[in-house]
């Protein structure tokens, strides 16, 4: 049936004050008198007006949304906010009519709910509030969802505010926020459904100069009551609809399942016996697997070496060490590094696809590492299994064996050199005695000659100067020769093969003097050695060579402990106590902290690993003093120095067993 659009427009305009008609291309093809007078005053040419020209961008979006809903037969609401003029927003209902020219859209509303031309676009505030309440109620009815309602709610709500253009509308419902929170003064109301608080509405202004009126709070309360009732009704309707749909669906599913159950029951009965057999087999397999797993884990934990399974990303998959967590990087958990090791075994195995074995040093330990490739089902290397064995003891013993070989060779060399030095030194010592005796006989004769010849010179020196110093020079030569003899004897004694028996009559002061001469050249650049030896000390039975070894070790260590910037002092003291001989070796070097002091006598513990220290010197010294029935103690303080105190019983040593 053909629709007479002119008659339709007249009919609608007769019932509604505001009417705006557009075609499907958003061209405005008809407006009511109120619109022509109030809304389009700013447009001289009204023949080619479109929605895009006369509306704000947001208002245009609401019109387009309402047009889509009206085309689908849904009653929509559009918000008319003109781009020109000072008027507020105007909510309008929407309808769609099919015509020969295409779809025609009608936007209409009654004058009571909007604006009038009493004084420009202004209206009594109470009328605006009533209109706003009416529009909110309409919006609830036509909204397709709660989200749709709250998204369009601010534009409708602002029409009831005194300063509608500056109003800020914010709402939150069931945790979802809509709009922007007012920054200045605002009023609010709670949204409740079935006495349960579900959200809140706030209205206000950004500008603090705008005050909120009591009537605006009343309007908001009335809107909240309307909204609460509508939401309760909507929720109840949705619940009932959902339950009905669920009930119908449940009945259909029950009917379908009943048929399926009947058809499947006979099949399941037939398979039941088969499943029983399979289940029995799986139980046996599972038990065997659990037993195998337990055996494997027990074997893994029982391996004395550290074992770790590492994937291609350097992540630890499994380890027999309790302090290593799966998922950590191997280089961080094992070696406390921030990046892979320079000699990374994983990289080598991935590249070469063969096992790798090497010895590496970590801190004070030597580790022998075996890295085995682990393959996946595609026979590709998927990681490595590494075994770490601590070979510090073997490595140190090997170094000690090499050192012992060197010392043995040195002993033979020292013995030969000592013999070569001692022979000419014997001539020097004997000749010096003859020279000294000759000078004793010659000098009185020369003295008498000098009385008659006062200008006498000897060796181009005035005779008085020569006479004063010649015997001093001869005595120095004699002392030097004796010192050479003492050093050679000390070296030969030090490297002499020792049977380890405690049968010597030990004079400790004599050993200290000999040991000091022995290490003088090694120590004198770092420290001066000061001897404070108590005379007439009692002797004790022991092993002179071993005691000298202890003293030499302590003095050399004291020299090594000196700061590089200054020369230190090493004091060696002896004194007697009640039935004991006390020996002290004290330095003013760097000192040690308490952790180092606690470990100083442990085998292989050393603070000089970088300079060739083996960590055995003090451990051997401790053992030697213990063999002599004595004790050795150390006291040290960082920055102050260190003192070793040895106490040995006088008159006897520890018996040999």
Q: What is the pLDDT of residues 75-118, one digit of tens each?
A: 677 888 888 765 566 778 888 888 877 889 988 876 543 333 33
Instruction: Tell me the CB-side half-sphere exposure of residue 87, using CA atoms within 13 A.
Output: 29
Q: Of 211-215, 332-336, 579-583, 608-612, which one has max mean pLDDT?
A: 579-583
Split at pLDDT 50, 70, 90, the class of 224 is: confident
Q: Which residue has the higher pLDDT, 552 or 283?
A: 552
Domain 306-384 superfamily per CATH: PAS domain (3.30.450.20)
Do 551 and 584 form a contact (C-beta atoms < 8 A)? no
Q: What region does 581 belong to: left with phi over 0, alpha with psi -120 to 50, or beta?
A: beta
Q: How far apart are CA 329 and CA 340, in angstroms?
A: 9
Residue 486 structure tokens: 């003492």
Task: Calculate the CA 22 to chain-centre distance.
Answer: 66
Do 21 and 104 form a contact (C-beta atoms < 8 A)? yes
Q: Does the pLDDT of residue 361 top 90, yes or no? A: no
CA distances from 275 to 46, 269, 288 (A): 85, 10, 20
Predicted local distance difference test score (pLDDT) of residue 123:
39
Sheet holding 90-99, edge to edge: 28-31, 18-23, 102-109, 90-99, 76-80
Q: Which residue has the higher pLDDT, 14 or 448?
A: 448
Predicted local distance difference test score (pLDDT) of residue 350:
84
Q: Does the pLDDT of residue 46 top 70, yes or no? A: no
- The reported pTM is 0.34
Domain residue extents for the chain: 1-123, 156-302, 306-384, 391-497, 500-657
> What does the pLDDT average to over 350-370?
81
Residue 170 structure tokens: 């914010």
Do 533 and 515 form a contact (C-beta atoms < 8 A)? no
Instruction: Tell me the CB-side half-sphere exposure of residue 648, using CA atoms within 13 A.
Output: 32
Split at pLDDT 50, 70, 90, the class of 120 is: very low
Predicted local distance difference test score (pLDDT) of residue 532:
93
Q: Of 2-11, 98-107, 246-255, 270-279, which one has max mean pLDDT?
A: 98-107
Helices (H), ranges, 145-213: 146-158
Q: Do 306-384 and 500-657 come out as alike in CATH topology?
A: no
Q: What CATH class is the domain 1-123?
A: alpha beta
Predicted local distance difference test score (pLDDT) of residue 533:
93
Residue among 120, 113, 105 nearest 42 (CA): 120
Tens of pLDDT, residues 475-489: 888 877 777 776 676
> What does the pLDDT average to over 583-604?
87
Weakest-pLDDT range from 226-235, 573-582, 607-616: 607-616
Residue 599: CB partners within 8 Å, gap ≥ 6? 605
Q: Which residue has the tokens 């929170």?
A: 181
Predicted local distance difference test score (pLDDT) of residue 88:
61
Residue 483 structure tokens: 């010192």
Split at pLDDT 50, 70, 90, the class of 632 is: very high
Other beta carbons less than 10 A from residue 141's beta carbon: 12
Environment class of 446 (CB within 10 Å of its CB; exposed 0-12, middle 13-18, buried 19+): middle
Q: Of 183-187, 358-362, 557-561, 650-654, which one has max mean pLDDT?
A: 557-561
Q: Does the pLDDT of residue 124 top 60, yes or no? A: no
Percent of the chain with pLDDT over 90: 9
Split at pLDDT 50, 70, 90, the class of 128 is: low
Q: Does the pLDDT of residue 121 top 50, yes or no? A: no
Tens of pLDDT, residues 292-314: 666 666 666 667 778 888 887 88
How is residue 655 annotated by DSSP? P
Tell me yes or no: is domain 500-657 CATH 3.90.1200.10.
Answer: no
Q: How far apart are CA 152 and CA 135, in angstroms?
A: 11
> What does the pLDDT average to over 245-272?
70
Split at pLDDT 50, 70, 90, the class of 570 is: very high
């Amino acid at each position: 049936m053909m629709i007479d659009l002119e008659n339709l427009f007249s009919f609608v305009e007769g019932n509604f004050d505001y009417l705006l008609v557009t075609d499907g291309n958003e061209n405005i093809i008809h407006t009511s008198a109120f619109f022509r007078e109030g809304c389009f005053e700013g447009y001289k040419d009204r023949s080619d007006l479109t929605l895009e020209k006369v509306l704000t961008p947001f208002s245009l979006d609401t019109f387009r949304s309402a047009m889509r809903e009206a085309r689908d037969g849904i009653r929509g609401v559009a918000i008319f906010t003109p781009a020109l003029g000072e008027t507020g927003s105007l909510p309008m209902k929407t309808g769609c009519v099919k015509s020969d020219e295409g779809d025609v859209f009608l936007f209409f509303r009654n004058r009571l709910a909007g604006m009038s031309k009493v004084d420009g676009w202004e209206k009594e505030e109470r009328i605006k509030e009533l209109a706003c309440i009416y529009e909110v109620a309409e919006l609830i009815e036509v909204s397709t969802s709660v989200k749709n309602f709250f998204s369009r709610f601010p534009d409708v709500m602002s029409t009831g505010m005194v300063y509608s253009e500056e109003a800020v509308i914010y709402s939150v419902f069931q945790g979802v926020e809509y709009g922007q929170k007012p920054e200045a003064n605002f009023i609010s109301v709670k949204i409740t459904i079935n006495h349960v608080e579900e959200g809140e509405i706030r209205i206000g202004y950004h500008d603090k100069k705008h005050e909120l009126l009591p009537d605006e709070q009343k309007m908001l309360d009335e809107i909240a009551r309307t909204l609460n009732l509508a939401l309760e009704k909507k929720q109840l309707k949705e619940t009932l609809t959902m339950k009905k749909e669920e009930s119908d669906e449940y009945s259909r599913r029950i009917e379908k399942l009943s048929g399926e159950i009947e058809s499947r029951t006979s099949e399941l009965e037939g398979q039941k016996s088969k499943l029983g057999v399979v289940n029995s087999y799986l139980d046996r397999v599972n038990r065997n697997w659990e037993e195998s797993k337990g055996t494997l884990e027990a074997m893994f934990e029982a391996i004395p070496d550290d074992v770790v399974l590492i994937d291609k990303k350097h992540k630890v998959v499994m380890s027999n060490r309790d302090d290593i967590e799966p998922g950590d990087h191997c280089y961080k958990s094992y070696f406390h590094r921030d990046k892979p090791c320079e000699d990374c075994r994983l990289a080598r195995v991935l590249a070469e696809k063969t096992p790798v074995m090497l010895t590496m040093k970590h801190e004070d330990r030597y580790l022998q590492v075996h890295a085995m490739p682990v393959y996946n089902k595609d026979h590709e290397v998927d990681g490595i299994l590494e075994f770490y064995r601590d070979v510090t003891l073997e490595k140190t013993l090997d170094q000690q064996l090499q050192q012992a070989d060197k010392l043995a060779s040195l002993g033979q060399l020292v013995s030969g050199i000592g013999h070569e030095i001692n022979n000419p030194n014997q001539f020097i010592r004997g000749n010096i005695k003859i020279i000294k005796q000759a000078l004793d006989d010659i000098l009185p004769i020369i003295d008498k000659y000098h009385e008659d010849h006062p200008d006498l010179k000897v060796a181009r020196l005035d005779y008085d100067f020569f006479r004063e110093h010649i015997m001093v020079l001869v005595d120095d030569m004699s002392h030097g020769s004796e010192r050479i003899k003492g050093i050679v004897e000390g070296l030969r004694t030090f490297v002499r093969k020792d049977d380890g028996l405690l049968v010597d009559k030990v004079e400790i002061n004599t050993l200290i003097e000999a040991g000091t001469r022995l290490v003088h050249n090694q120590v004198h650049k770092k420290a001066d050695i000061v001897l404070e030896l108590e005379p007439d000390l009692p002797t004790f039975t022991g092993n002179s060579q071993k005691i000298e070894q202890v003293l030499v070790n302590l003095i050399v260590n004291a020299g090594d402990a000196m700061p590089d910037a200054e020369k230190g002092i090493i004091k060696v003291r002896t004194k007697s106590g009640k039935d004991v001989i006390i020996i002290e070796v004290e330095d003013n070097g760097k000192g040690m902290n308490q952790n180092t002091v606690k470990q100083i006598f442990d085998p292989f513990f050393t603070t000089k690993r970088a300079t060739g220290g083996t960590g055995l010197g003090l451990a051997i010294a401790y053992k030697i003093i213990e063999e002599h029935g004595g004790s050795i103690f150390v006291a040290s303080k960082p920055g102050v120095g260190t003192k070793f105190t040895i106490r040995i019983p006088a008159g006897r040593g520890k018996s040999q067993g």
